[in-house]
Structure 1
Amino acid sequence: MTIRRSGNMVVMTETAIPITVRGDIDARAVEQLRRCAAAGDATAGVLCADAHVGYSQPIGGAVAYPDHISPSGVGYDIGCGNKAVRTALPVDAIAGELPGIMDIIFERISFGVGRKNAERVDHPVLDAIGEADFAPQRQLKDMAAAQLGTVGAGNHYVDLFAGDDGFVWIGVHFGSRGFGHKTASGFLALAAGMRFEERGPDGEMDAPPTLLGVDTDLGQAYISAMTLAGEYAYAGRDVVVDRVLEILGTTATYEVHNHHNYAWRENHAGTDVWVVRKGCTPAFPGQEGFVGATMGEPSVILRGTDHPDNASLLFSTVHGAGRVMSRTQAAGRMGTRMECTERDCAFWVTPGQLRHERERAGLAQDARFTLCPEHPDGRMVKRRGRTKDGAVDFDAVLERLRGAGVELRGGAADEAPEAYKRLDAVLAAHGDTIEILHRLTPIGVAMAAADTVDPYKD
């Protein structure tokens, strides 16, 4: 392997495929990207400074394939991306009304897995789904209609910001919801020789990429289906932003909108390639992007530059701050446990512990039995609760957010700032390949409550 350093950038060459890495990236993510690049005879690979391990292809990674496209590289949330708009409202105009505004946003917009939109939307993209070139997508129209204008779980959000220009900004982050997920999982099943409707094999995190030749019928079908899922994702973000504008009683004066889970046909170094970006914001010279931080830190509007290093990055940049701990590490683990039924008692044990001690005592399963030392005459019942503590003290996070004037609706420890890198640091790692146009300070954050979605399949 040959390693070349240029400022913040590291270029690793192995089997003639240059891999460009920005920032401090986990070695496992680098290996994932190398595997993806080698499998499809890629011309180049990139890891942005927010990169971390993902399913097959790392999040924050981009790969340029001359002859392949990768459903596993684009991922399950086809067309996931960000939209930001500057409103005509000065920040001071909503200062006293912010708590009520956030209540209305959280009430009118659905957040979470499988949620439906209570205010159905008629949109041309739904007609396009009903007449999709890839026929199996047509059967997903009803689900797509029900979820258009809803926001998923995990790190997906609707935020209000105080812009550095004195105006209120709206920012959203989510993708193609169940429509995109069903499309992605269907093609992974087809690639494994199964039917679109079947559940394909759940590969390991370090599974080789699923690649489709772009000159095959299946490859062309995926490109068509991916394009439609991307249009649906764009439509969903438009619908949500329009609804927030309606709630605020204002209009947009400027907007930035971009995917970061998608594949584009581009030309790099004189070669036509499919650039598969998973968690990467396109950043060609002059191209603007909205990059969100965490619930408590400023986000940015940025623009790609013509700096020579940008070409080595396949004109890609970060899509967020980048996780440093998994959801379980941050928030702990939820599961089944046996709890004491006495009021205000916090004692619990695992079902296995209770079963073992009951058997040692020679008692029948239906016999009254407890292990609680404070209530020896009490009972224990099966309930869902926290079985492993997390690293994040979310009560302290909430207090800090309140002190900073941030109105939070939803959210949990798995999305706390402690679970992420600092956005300023990952942006700095990209040096002069980008320029910051605006800094947006969060004043209102709405997202789903804690969930069990695998963050690497988002």
Structure 2
Amino acid sequence: MNGKHITKLGFERKAIGLALAAAKAREGAGVERGAILYELKSVQADPAAYLAGGVYAELATELSEQNALSEIKKGAALLPSPLPYAVWGADLIEPGARAQMDVAMRLPITRAGALMPDAHVGYGLPIGGVLAAENAVIPYGVGVDIGCSMRLSVFAMQPDALKLEEAKILLLKHTRFGAGVAFDKRERGDHAVLHETTWDDQPILGHLFEKAAAQIGSSGSGNHFAEFGTLTLGAADLGLEAGEYLALLSHSGSRGFGAQVAGHFTNLAERLHPNIDPAAKKLAWLSLDSEEGQAYWQAMNLAGRYALANHELIHARLARALGVNVLASVHNSHNLAWKQQVDGQELIVHRKGATPAAAGQLGLIPGSMADPGFVVRGRGHADALESASHGAGRQLGRKAAASKLVKKEVAAYLKERGVTLMGGGIDEAPQAYKRIEDVIAHQSDLVDVVAQFMPRVVRMDSGSEDI
């Protein structure tokens, strides 16, 4: 008897080892293979009949537990109370985000979680939520903008060497923002991600290829941006000497391609869990043992690579236009799921608006259009699932910001800080966000600050009302 015989019977995970041990014991007692396989099928069909004792008792116990968990998952019943999870910056986090995280921590697939200090309400999992699930992925645990990410390029130029008008012209010529916006065919960039065979593996990927190809190298609306500014490095790091440098910081994602992937698989997950508790509807998941789960995992990772490719093209285009070398570069995704070891077990760690912060890992935590951003190095905090915030986090929703904030006051805030803005709606005003300094202060045990970036010329999509 070997593992292949056991696997063919349909045993999974821990049950395989227990079944093999029992089979070996029966072989040692002189029982033939055919009879042992018949016995194993009987235990599999009715584990309760073997719980009282004997060589199959331990296997029967494991199978009974697996069956009970499977029934919970089929009915999508939530745990009676949330699993415990760590929270950073609790005084900065609105009750709605805590309530959403509490629901996520009651999912039968959840094993661990954490909430970052920039957290606020999102769809399903809150923005700033980190959730570790066993063998399952939650499309809305990743988010609509799959692979949304940051990139910083440090140039071989002093900050004041780039004049204001030249910076504006460069951003206007070499970036594109907005829903459905793209470069025309003559200006369109190319990237290795567009030549992957992955696009041929699923009908939805093939269907979305032309959209992705048309929009590559561009950015979406909302809080996406590209900005020139001053990077201040207090001590030698990033392969650079201490000092000030001209830098480019961008925030962008997977455009319409990623959004449609997210919508498609979220709808699929909801259909597969018709009895899910209404409170957790937007947290419907896909098992990674299923064809649907594997399809999403493939599409999600492709969207993540595509998002990073958008940044690479933006930065390469602007570096060429400046005619300077890139001295250092930092990037990270903050809307993705990763396979990660947690307490010795491989789990699927969802970071929805959270920066990976393993020990020594570089990352970017931006502020608002007129506030500093930070290059950070992770400290690998286990309770945070090796994560940190992804930005300042909203303190006013878009509608609230549009109705409460005064355009004149926002413009004065930008002027006071010497920031020139192109595009950008009142719903993206700095006052709509938490103070980045407060957010950073609440996670000093999660990351160390390496450098500070201060925006000077910012380009965004136009919002509901330009500032």
Separation in 2, partners of 1:99, 1:206: 50
Which deviates the most, 218-227 or 35-44? 35-44
Cα gap change, 1:255/1:157 in structure 2, threshold over 3 Å: closer, same or farther? same
> Is 2:298 aligned against 1:235?
no
1:442 counterpart residue number = 455
Question: Which residue of structure 2 aligns with residue 166 of structure 1?
Answer: 244
Q: Classify the secondary structure of the residue corresponding to 2:390.
A: coil
Cα deviation per residue 1:178-232 (whole Å; 9 max; x = unaligned)?
11011111112322449xxxxx9xx999744020111111111111111111110
Residues 63, 275 of structure 1: 8 Å contact kept: yes
Does the residue aligned with 1:297 lie in a helix, a strand or coil? coil
Q: 1:30 Cα shift? A: 1.3
Pick from 117, 138, 141 the counterpart of residue 183 of structure 2. Answer: 117
Task: Tell whether the 8 Å contact from 1:297 to 1:442 is kept in structure 2 after alignment.
Answer: yes
Partner Cα separation in structure 1 for residue 108 and residue 173 of structure 2:
46
Give the match's secondary structure for 1:89. Answer: coil
Q: Indicate the percent of aligned positions where both proteins have the same amino acid.
A: 36
1:431 aligned partner, one-letter code: S
For residues 451 and 256 of structure 1, what CA distance do their matches in structure 2 show? 31
Decide whether aligned partners of structure 1 residues 208 and 121 sit closer, same or farther in structure 2, where only a CA change above 3 A counts. closer
1:53 pairs with 2:121: yes
Q: How far 1:130 sits from its partner (Å)?
A: 6.8
The answer for the alignment partner of 1:220 in structure 2 is 294
SS for the counterpart of 1:431 is coil
Other structure's SS at 1:324 match = coil
Q: TM-score, normalised by structure 1?
A: 0.77
Provide the rounded CA distance (Å) in 2 between the counterparts of 1:280 and 1:204: 25
TM-score by length of 2: 0.76
Distance 1:116 1:435 in 2: 37
| Structure 2 residue 386 is matched with structure 1 residue 315 | yes
Q: Radius of gyration: which is bigger?
A: 2
The AA in structure 2 aligned to 1:315 is E
- In 1, the alpha carbon distance for the partners of 2:294 and 2:198 equals 19
| SS of corresponding position for 1:63 | strand
> What are the Cα deviations for residues 19-63 of structure 1, in whole angstroms up to 9, with x where unaligned?
111112122211211212221431111110000000011000010
Match of 2:436 among 418, 423, 434: 423
Aligned to 1:383: none
Q: Is the 8 A contact 1:56 1:204 kept in 2?
A: no
1:142 offset after TM fit, Å? 0.8
Q: How far 1:17 sits from its partner (Å)?
A: 2.1
Matches within 5 A, 1:136-215: 136-164=204-232, 165-193=243-271, 207-215=281-289
Does the 8 Å contact 2:104/2:280 carry over to 1?
no
Deviation for aligned residue 1:433: 2.0
Tell me the SS of whatever aligns to 1:111.
coil
Q: Secondary structure at the match of 1:38?
A: coil
CA 1:90–1:56: 2 relative to 1, 3 Å: same
**Which residue does the alignment assign to 1:77?**
145
Question: Which residue number corresponds to residue 25 of structure 2?
Answer: none
Q: Determine the C-alpha separation between the residues in 1 that align with 2:197 and 2:223.
A: 26
Runs of 4+ in 1 over 4 A off after TM superposition: 13-16, 203-206
List gaps (5 residues or longer) in structure 2: 1-78, 233-242
Query: Structure 1, residues 257-297: CA drift from partner, whole Å, max 9, x if none?
Result: 11000000000111110001100000000001011101111
2:356 counterpart residue number:
282
2:199 and 2:209 in contact (8 A); partners too: no
Q: Is the 8 A contact 1:62 1:278 kept in 2?
A: yes
Residues 129, 141 of structure 1: 8 Å contact kept:
no
Matches within 5 A, 1:85-96: 85-94=153-162
Q: Aligned-pair distance for 1:16?
A: 7.2
Tell me the alpha carbon deviations over residues 144-170 of structure 1, each in whole angstroms, 9 at most, x when there is no partner: 011001111000000111111211111
* Contact preservation (8 Å) 2:129, 2:352: yes
Q: CA deviation at 1:134?
A: 2.4
Is the Cα–Cα contact under 8 Å of residues 394 and 412 in structure 1 kept in the other structure?
Answer: no
Q: Which has the larger share of helix? A: 2
Tell me if the contact between 2:154 and 2:246 (Cα under 8 Å) persists in the aligned partners.
Answer: yes
CA distance in 1, matches of 2:437, 2:338: 27
8 Å Cα contact 2:115-2:128 kept in structure 1: yes
Aligned length: 370
| Cα deviations by residue, 1:394-423 (Å, 9 ceiling, x for unpaired) | 222223322322121111211111000011
Report the Cα distance in structure 1 between the residues aligned to 2:269 and 2:82, rounded to whole angstroms. 28
Q: Is the CA contact (8 Å cut-off) linking 2:82 and 2:103 kept in structure 1? A: no
Aligned counterparts, 1:31-70, within 5 A: 31-70=99-138
Give the number of the structure whose residues are more often strand, by fraction.
1
Q: Which residue of 2 aligns with 1:256?
A: 330
Deviation at 1:451, TM superposition (A): 4.3
1:111 partner letter: F
